[in-house]
Amino acid sequence: MASFSSIGVGLGGSVDVNGLIKASVDAVKLPITRTNGLNDQAKFTEAKISTFGKLQSMVSSLQAAAGRLASVTGWNSVSASSSNDKAVSATAIGGTVETTFSVEVSALAKAQVATSDALTSNTAVGAGSLKIELGRWSGGSFTPGTGSAPDIAISATDTLADIAGKINGANAGVTATIVTDVSGQRLMLRGKNTGEDAGFRLAVTDADGDLGDGAGLSRLTDGLAADPGVNAAANATARINGLFDVTSATNTFENAVAGVTFKASQVTTAPVDITVVKDASAVKKNVEDFVIAYNAANQALNELTKYDKATGTGGLLQGDSTAVALQNQLRNVVQSMSSSTGPFQTLSSIGLGIVQGGDLSIDGSKLDAALKSPDAVKALFIGADGSAATTDGVAEKIKMATSQLLDSDGFFASKDKQLKAVLERNAKEVARINDRAEGTEALLKARYTALDTQMSRLNALNSYISQQVTTWNNQKG
């Protein structure tokens, strides 16, 4: 509130006008500032919006966890192992058929390496330009690839180190390094990729116009422009089951055996066996992840809706019927029954029990025993038909329930819209009251200013009369 320092002069300074105006304005703003007023209500509503947002994230995590148990792919997890994983390691995607095959690695993938003849250290090489073409060497001839080969300008003062820096800066598909030995400095180029299609060739344009004089920039053609021979880029080669030869531009073989990817790290001296089996541990982890996600949401709702008799305080959502309904909905769905006709119809039948507070507990021994019959456990979560086409499995029911909660017109979206509408009404009411307070302040200022002016006039008149009386009395005496 603005201070009116000029007001009160006519009142003789005996009245705290600013204090009176402030008190009146504060009284108008009381619905905003008092305890549980509009300010507190706005903070409470904002806290609710944030809290329901966190609950939405937890329910989303629960939906994802249930989705893995409701997915056929989630029940087809497999693991791949190697009899010598230092030489050959392997992975397999879900649904891959259980199998065993052998791999023999005869060569690893290589990048091309080429080195120039030795030059005197830190000596300028010569002016001109370089072009590095990527492609494939075969039988002493080079076939360029489809990529562009930028020209790299070399000045007359550039040393090998300068040239290496320019090659690296040109992003030409190779890396350049300086090697120093007893003979001097050499420019070494190495392809950034492996595989026989990732070779390269250096083309030189010498400023002196003579590529055969062994002087100037053309000195780099010796060793860098010729067939690299044993240093050529090469594919990795392997043999499967001693019969089928396969190659890869990298050391990773992705399409040799359906669903299996194996990576060669060493040339082998004996066959390496790769075995693919069903992975019960992956299914168990999916069950454990589901329990963790459900308990996180349940514990959050317990904390938010509780009432502490000792302190007389409640959680942020204590008494909120929608929060209680949300918790009950989640608890009901985890206690639902599957249509499975097998030995497992409820989560408790595989060791997932409800404990005090509504959390799920895991009986590890019971779960392990149940997972020895994976198809029966699968039927519990996916339903009697064992597919994701229906919604009669426990995981399918949970996924459907959480989807309804998370839909664009579902529980959380509606709650967010409702709470934001409350905030909007609150803001409008605050604005209305602030406008009223400003009007009250302006009105009181005008009235006190007018009163002050009138009092100033009366004080002046009183002073004049007093002076006249004094003068009259003096004349009379």
99-107 and 174-181 strand pairing: unpaired
- Asked if pLDDT for residue 5 goes beyond 60, the answer is no
Are residues 127 and 216 in contact, defined by beta-carbon separation less than 8 angstroms? yes
Mind listing the pLDDT tens digit for each residue in 370-412?
998 888 999 999 886 655 555 678 898 898 889 988 999 988 9
Q: Residue 13: is it exposed, middle or buried by C-beta count within 10 angstroms (0-12/13-18/19+)?
A: exposed
**What's the pLDDT score for residue 213?**
63
**What's the pLDDT score for residue 57?**
94
CA 171 – CA 175 distance, rounded (Å): 8
Average pLDDT on 97-105 reads 96
CA 80 – CA 265 distance, rounded (Å): 16
Higher pLDDT, 239 or 18: 239
Task: Give residue 363's pLDDT band: very low, low, confident or very high (50, 70, 90).
Answer: very high
CA 157 – CA 170 distance, rounded (Å): 19
- Asked if pLDDT for residue 7 goes beyond 70, the answer is no
Which of 97-106, 205-214, 331-340, 426-435 bottoms out in mean pLDDT, i.e. has the lowest? 205-214
> For 307, how many CA atoms within 13 A lie in the half-sphere containing its CB?
6
Beta-bridge partner residues of 314: 307
Are residues 88 and 94 in contact, defined by beta-carbon separation less than 8 angstroms? no
Higher pLDDT, 251 or 316: 251
- Asked if pLDDT for residue 364 goes beyond 80, the answer is yes
Higher pLDDT, 327 or 3: 327
Strands across the sheet containing 88-92: 88-92, 260-264, 252-257
Helix axes 38-70, 280-305, angle to 10 degrees: 160
- Asked if pLDDT for residue 316 goes beyond 80, the answer is yes
**What's the pLDDT score for residue 461?**
80
Mind listing the pLDDT tens digit for each residue in 20-40?
888 888 898 999 999 999 999
Average pLDDT value for the chain: 88
Which of 5-19, 33-47, 106-120, 368-382 bottoms out in mean pLDDT, i.e. has the lowest? 5-19
- Asked if pLDDT for residue 333 goes beyond 90, the answer is no
Mind listing the pLDDT tens digit for each residue in 438-472?
998 888 888 888 887 887 788 778 887 888 878 88
Task: Give residue 14's pLDDT band: very low, low, confident or very high (50, 70, 90).
Answer: low
**What's the pLDDT score for residue 407?**
93
Average pLDDT on 194-219 reads 83
Average pLDDT on 425-443 reads 92
Are residues 330 and 298 in contact, defined by beta-carbon separation less than 8 angstroms? yes
Q: Residue 421: is it exposed, middle or buried by C-beta count within 10 angstroms (0-12/13-18/19+)?
A: exposed
Percent of the chain with pLDDT over 90: 52
**Three-state helix/strand/coil letters over 304-353:** HHCEECCCCEECCCCCCHHHHHHHHHHHHHHCCCCCCCCCCCCHHHHCEE
Average pLDDT on 297-311 reads 88
Token pair for residue 210? 């003579």
Are residues 197 and 135 in contact, defined by beta-carbon separation less than 8 angstroms? yes
